[in-house]
C-alpha cells in the first residue's frame, strides 16, 4: 500500500533516523533539491549509511537522485543501489530517453555488484511540459518504471503560471499524468502540497487527487502524513460494498461459476480489483474489518 511518499532531506541525520518511525508508506531519501551542491558527497554517504544500518521496517525505500545534467548521477546510483534502495526517483524526466539512460546505468551497476537484474525500480518524476507530453513513453520505456509522480512546483515554473493552493493550473497535467500511468499499468503519485502548516489544505488537496484516481501523494512534510492517510481512508459504505463484492466473487469461485453477480447485477473484473484495493486501504487505515468467515464445505 503506497499512499504517502515522504521526502527526507539527505543531509540531515536526525530526519533520516526519524524516517524509521514516521508512518510514511514510502520514504524518499533526497539527494537533489534539499541538498546544497557542495554537500552532495556528504549526503550520498549519509543516505547510504542510513540505508545500511537503520531498520525502516516495511517502508519502501526510494532515493531521489540528481538530474542527469549533473555530474553526480553515476555516483548517486552506485551508492544507493549497493546500499539497498528499492527504487530511484529520477527527477526532470522528459521522456523515454531519460529513463533508458538511467536504466542502462542500473543494468551495469547491478551486474557489477552482483545484484539481481532489474531489482532497482524507477519512479519517474514529471515536472516539465515536455515530461507531461511524453509521460506515457516514459512510463513504458523500461520494465523498471513502477510509478509516475507529478512535481507541480517546477511544472508551473515551466508552464509560466503561478502555483496556487487550489491547483486549477495543474488540473490538466494531473489528469494527463494519471491517464499515462493507468495506460501503462503503473501507479500515479500526486504532487506535494506545499504549505507544511496547513494540514486541512493538504487533506482537501489529497481528497481531490484521490477523486481523480491517484494512488498516492508526495509529501514534503511529516505533518502531511496524517491528512494524506485520512484522505485515502475509504468510507464505511465503500468498505461494506467491497466486502460484498469480494464475498460474491468467492461464492462464484466456490460454485465454479464464471460470471460474478451481486444482487442480480454482473460484476466486472475492474470492480473486483477496485474492491480488493479498497479493503487493502481500509486495513492500512487501521479500520477493523470483519474476520473472514470459514469456507462452508
Site of interaction with another protein (CB under 8 A): 12-14, 17-18, 21-23, 37-42, 44-46, 48-50, 52-55, 72, 75, 222-223, 226, 286
Q: With the C-alpha atoms ordered 31, 37, 43, 45, is the resulting torsion angle positive or negative?
A: positive
For 258, the grid coordinates are 464464471
Q: Rounded CA gap, 36 and 246, in Å? A: 50
Distance, CA of 91 to chain centre: 14
As to burial, measured by CB atoms within 10 angstroms (0-12 exposed, 13-18 middle, 19+ buried), residue 223 is middle
As to burial, measured by CB atoms within 10 angstroms (0-12 exposed, 13-18 middle, 19+ buried), residue 233 is middle
Q: Rounded CA gap, 163 and 174, in Å? A: 13
CB of 41 to another protein, least distance (A): 4
Identify which of residues 45 and 133 has a Cβ nearer to another protein in the complex: 45
Identify which of residues 71 and 160 has a Cβ nearer to another protein in the complex: 71
Identify which of residues 8 and 267 has a Cβ nearer to another protein in the complex: 8
Q: Rounded CA gap, 7 and 242, in Å? A: 32
In the block, residue with C-alpha cell 468510507: 235
CB of 29 to another protein, least distance (A): 12
Identify which of residues 78 and 187 has a Cβ nearer to another protein in the complex: 78
CB of 149 to another protein, least distance (A): 22
Q: Rounded CA gap, 205 and 211, in Å? A: 10
Identify which of residues 13 and 84 has a Cβ nearer to another protein in the complex: 13
Identify which of residues 193 and 214 has a Cβ nearer to another protein in the complex: 193
The β-bridge partners of 87 are 62, 121
3-state secondary structure of 120: coil
CB of 22 to another protein, least distance (A): 6
Q: What angle do CA 169, 174, 178 make, to 5 degrees?
A: 165
CB of 38 to another protein, least distance (A): 4
Identify which of residues 42 and 183 has a Cβ nearer to another protein in the complex: 42
Q: Rounded CA gap, 191 and 227, in Å? A: 15
CB of 288 to another protein, least distance (A): 8
CB of 179 to another protein, least distance (A): 34
Amino acid at each position: 500500500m503506497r499512499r504517502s511518499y515522504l521526502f527526507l532531506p539527505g543531509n540531515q541525520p536526525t530526519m533520516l533516523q526519524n524516517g524509521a518511525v514516521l508512518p510514511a508508506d514510502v520514504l524518499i531519501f533526497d539527494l537533489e533539491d534539499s541538498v546544497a551542491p557542495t554537500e552532495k558527497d556528504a549526503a550520498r554517504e549519509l543516505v547510504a549509511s542510513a540505508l545500511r544500518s537503520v531498520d525502516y521496517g516495511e517502508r519502501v525505500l526510494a532515493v531521489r537522485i540528481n538530474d542527469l545534467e549533473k555530474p553526480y548521477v553515476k555516483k548517486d546510483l552506485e551508492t544507493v543501489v549497493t546500499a539497498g534502495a528499492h527504487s530511484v526517483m529520477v527527477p526532470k524526466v522528459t521522456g523515454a530517453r531519460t529513463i533508458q539512460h538511467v536504466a542502462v546505468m542500473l543494468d551495469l551497476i547491478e551486474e557489477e555488484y552482483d545484484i539481481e537484474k532489474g531489482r532497482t525500480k524507477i519512479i519517474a518524476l514529471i515536472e516539465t511540459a515536455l515530461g507531461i507530453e511524453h509521460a506515457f513513453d516514459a512510463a513504458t520505456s523500461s520494465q523498471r518504471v513502477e510509478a509516475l509522480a507529478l512535481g507541480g512546483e517546477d511544472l508551473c515554473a515551466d508552464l509560466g503560471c503561478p502555483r496556487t493552493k487550489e491547483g486549477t493550473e495543474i488540473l490538466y497535467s494531473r489528469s494527463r499524468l494519471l491517464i499515462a500511468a493507468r495506460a501503462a499499468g503503473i501507479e500515479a503519485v500526486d504532487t506535494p502540497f506545499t504549505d507544511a502548516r496547513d494540514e486541512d489544505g493538504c487533506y482537501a488537496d489529497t481528497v481531490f487527487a484521490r477523486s481523480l484516481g491517484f494512488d498516492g501523494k508526495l509529501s514534503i512534510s511529516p505533518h502531511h502524513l496524517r491528512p494524506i492517510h485520512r484522505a485515502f481512508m475509504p468510507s464505511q459504505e465503500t468498505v461494506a460494498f467491497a466486502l460484498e463484492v469480494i464475498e460474491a466473487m468467492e461464492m462464484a469461485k466456490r460454485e465454479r461459476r464464471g460470471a460474478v453477480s451481486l444482487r442480480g447485477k454482473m460484476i466486472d473484473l475492474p470492480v473486483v480489483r477496485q474492491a480488493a484495493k479498497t479493503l487493502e486501504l481500509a486495513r492500512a487505515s487501521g479500520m477493523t474489518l470483519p474476520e473472514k468467515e470459514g469456507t462452508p464445505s
